[in-house]
Structures are given as C-alpha cells and as structure tokens.
A and B are shown apart, each in its own frame.
Chain A
Amino acid sequence: MKSMKTAALCLGFICFFLGNAIGQSATSEVPQTGEVPQTGSAAASQNTQPAPDVKPATKPDTETEEHHHRLHVRLGTIGVGAGHSRFSGPFYSPFWYGFYPYSLSYSPFFYDPFFYSPSYAPGYFGGFAYDVDKGEVKLSGAPKTAEVFLDGAYAGTAGELKNMWLDPGAYDLSVSTPGAMPFHQRIYVLSGKSLKIATKLPQPQSQSEFQPKPQPTTTEEKP
C-alpha cells in the first residue's frame, strides 16, 4: 500500500516535470511564430509597427538568431496531482457458496452459531449514506466490534456505524458484544435530525442476567 502511494507521488512529480519541459518547448516556439511576418503574412502586414524579426538591416543577423532561441517562460496554472486506487474485489470464501455477503446460502461445511440473523438491515448493502430525506443516528460508547441490529436484522459493527443515515421511522436498535449484556432501545428517526445514542453494555454478574432490561428513556440530541 505504501509503495503504491509512493509510486503515485513519483508519477505525479514526473508528470509535473514533463509538463514543464513540454511547456518550455512550446514557448520556445513562440519566436518561430514571429517568423511568419517575415514571410509576409497578412497579420503582420496590417500591423503599423514593424515586426520584431522584420528589423532594419542595421541589426546584425546574429542578434536575430539569438531571439529565435530565447526561452519564453510563462507562469500559469500549475497542477500537481497524485492518485491511488485499489480494488480488492469481493471476498471469496471457499466455505461459502458464492461471494460473501452477496450470497445468503449457508454452507454445510461452515456454521457460525452467532450468525443467526436471516436477513440484513435495510441499507446494509447500499450503505447508510447521507441523503436529504434521511435522519442521522450517532452511536457511541460501544466497542468497535460490537454487532448492531436494526429491527432484528444485522446492520454491521459499531465501528462501521458510528454515523448512519436512516429513513424516517421507528426502529428497534440492538447492540451486542460477547461478554456483555445486549443493549436494546427503540429509536425514532426524523428526516434532517440527528439522534445520539449512548450505548451501555454492562458486564453481566451472572449468566442469569443475560435477560436485557428495558431502557427507561432515550438519550437523544438534535443539532
């Protein structure tokens, strides 16, 4: 990854220097265009002042030769850019039939008991991206690896879903992580508004405390 970025930067600098060289060679041709009046073009003949190359004969020819090779440097817009793109491709697991997660079929050779949700939350594939008619939900307080469920469907990890934009409506939000009691809360998303959810995943005292308790109130903020 680092080497590719370095290569992209080097490529950018090479382009920059090549562009300068080409620019110089282009501007060095400017005096040659000045030779056009020498051939008696209409543009030069209409000019009331004598063209620089149509000089009195008192000027030595060596000076004229010198003008032909003078570089004309013009400072203009200089852009230097470097880019880097990488396509990793869909992840393929030999234990799955098809490309994960585009295939929902289970393999008989692989079974994850934690992966129990039969479906994905709306927006899982398209991403919980911003849209003008959506509302924002900000998750905080949960470990990055905690799994987030919306209406019982898997939505992603808490690390990926710190900010997610959802269509207006009511959702049942659940956040769970191994070794902690799951967090459950009903949230109400309104378009153009931001909802801050502070998840609390307390450690259970015993296995019997794995029954989630209802949260009394929501912690919400609006911009």
Chain B
Amino acid sequence: MKLRICIAIALMCVLPLSAETPRGTVPRATADRYPAHATQSGTAIGVTLLTPDQVHNAFASDVNRCCLVVEIALYPAKDSTVGVSLNDFVLRVTGTDVAAKPSGAKVLAAKLQKKAVSPHDRDITISPTTNTGYESGGYDPVTGQRRSGGVYSSAGVGVGVGGSGPSPASSDVDRNTMELELGEKSLPEGAASAPVAGYLYFSLPKTKDKKVTHQLEYMVNGNKVVLTLP
C-alpha cells in the first residue's frame, strides 16, 4: 500500500509539471555524442541529420514528405548565455548554391495537411451472391402439375454505394496537431544558459544519391561555424 501511495504522490507531483510542455528534445550528455560537433566562442554545438526511418519514428506527422530534419544541441559555456534564433542556421547542399533556412511549424503543417476527399468521391461495394439447392419433386402448388425434382440455382449481385471516409490527417484539427507537434519538438528560441536541443526542418529537395552531403552553417556571436553532416 505504501508503494501505491508513493506512486500516487509522485504522479500528483509530476502531472502538473507535465502541463507545461517543454519544447525541443533532450540534449545528449555532451556535444561529442553527435556525429557532427564543434565549439565556437565557448559554445559547443552538436548536430545530426535524421534518416527517413528516424523521422518516421520520431514524428506522428509525415515530415518526410516535406523536408529534411536536423537535430541540433547547443551547450553554452559555463555562466554564460547564448541566443538561439532560427535565422542563425542555414542548411546547404555541399558544393552547390542550394541552401535553405529552417521552416516554421505553421508553414510545414499547412504543407503536410492532406487534401480532403471530394464529397463526390464514392465507395462502391459489389457483393455477388449465388445459391444452389436440390428439390426432390412433387406438385406445383399453382398449376397442380407434377414436376420432377432437380437442382436449382440462383445468382444475384448486390451493389452498395456510399460516401468514402475522410483521408488521414486532412482536417483542420490535424493541421493544428501537426503544427503543435512540430513546434514543440523544434529547437527552442531565445536565450539559453543550459543545454538545449531540438529539431530544425529544412525544405530542401531530397536526393537518393548517397554521395550528396549537407553542411549546416551556424552563426554564433558573429562567427560562422560550418558542420558537415554525414
């Protein structure tokens, strides 16, 4: 019983805290834990480009349809703060002029919202039926004639016409939910005195060429940091 009381008390303490939904993700222990990392002006930065599978597992929204997702963690120097702004980040295809700044959650949610199904679209269901039986014979109840028995059969087709259901993630509520998810998981902006992490979404064309790499450019205190993403 004491254990149950402890759990109840712990949940009572935690649930109000959970109402304040934290933004971003949990940063790894150090910037070194990220595939690409650097330190500039005392601020360490760790970056990783999520694979489509990782994006699929990390988001309920189908973010793979619109953009590349980069997880970024910033580690300010001790007793100092760092200003985090999405405008400080640029993702560039290595060796080209193709580059993009992070997209906002609202814009992405609008992109990801699927078109609703037209009310004129209908689902048609066809149900064929067949029956086979055997009659032993006797007298026709109407004409009174004697008739022999035999196998009889019948066939028919049932057709049902109805409206089709809405396509997934097409309503305005879905759009708001996607916007909420993308916003809550994105890198929090503002002054940070402790490590922060989150996702940035870049609307760049996807390529299946594995040789293509990307570079993340980050401006910190007027200095440019370039990280090559594997």
Residues of A within 8 A of B (CB): 27, 30-31, 33-34, 36-37, 43-44, 47, 49, 51-53, 67, 70, 72-77, 113-114, 116, 132-133, 149, 152, 167-170, 172, 174, 176, 178-179, 182, 184, 186-193, 195, 207, 210-212, 214, 216-222
Q: In the complex the two chains form, is A217's CB within 8 Å of B57's CB? A: yes
| Of the residues A43, A74, A193, contact of B135 by C-beta under 8 Å | A74
**Is B171 engaged at the interface, CB distance under 8 Å to the other chain?**
yes
Q: In the complex the two chains form, is A168's CB within 8 Å of B173's CB? A: yes
Whole-angstrom distance between the alpha carbons of A178 and B146 in the complex?
Answer: 79
Chain A residue contacts of B139, Cβ below 8 A: 30-31, 33-34, 52, 67, 72
Contacts A37-B144, A53-B144, A211-B14 given; indicate if A220 touches B177 (C-beta within 8 A).
no
- Say whether chain A's binding surface is mostly helix, strand, loop, or mixed: loop
Whole-angstrom distance between the alpha carbons of A44 and B143 in the complex?
Answer: 7
Whole-angstrom distance between the alpha carbons of A167 and B3 in the complex?
Answer: 34
Query: How many Å from the CB of A193 to the closest CB on chain B?
Result: 5
Supplied contacts A74-B136, A152-B15, 13 more A-B pairs, CB within 8 Å: A33-B141, A43-B142, A51-B145, A75-B133, A75-B135, A114-B7, A132-B166, A133-B166, A170-B177, A188-B60, A191-B171, A193-B168, A217-B57
**Chain B residue at minimum C-beta to C-beta distance from A49:** B145
**Chain B residue at minimum C-beta to C-beta distance from A36:** B144
Q: In the complex the two chains form, is A169's CB within 8 Å of B177's CB? A: yes
Q: In the complex the two chains form, is A212's CB within 8 Å of B14's CB? A: yes
**Chain B residue at minimum C-beta to C-beta distance from A54:** B144
Whole-angstrom distance between the alpha carbons of A72 and B137 in the complex?
Answer: 7
Q: In the complex the two chains form, is A132's CB within 8 Å of B177's CB? A: no
Chain A residue contacts of B136, Cβ below 8 A: 72-75
Contacts A132-B165, A167-B173 given; indicate if A182 touches B57 (C-beta within 8 A).
no
Chain B residue contacts of A218, Cβ below 8 A: 57-60
Most chain A beta carbons < 10 A, residue from B1, B15, B131, B167: B15
Chain B residue contacts of A27, Cβ below 8 A: 138
Chain B residue contacts of A179, Cβ below 8 A: 3
Q: In the complex the two chains form, is A193's CB within 8 Å of B169's CB? A: yes
Whole-angstrom distance between the alpha carbons of A30 and B169 in the complex?
Answer: 63
Query: How many Å from the CB of A66 to the closest CB on chain B?
Result: 13
**Is B10 engaged at the interface, CB distance under 8 Å to the other chain?**
yes
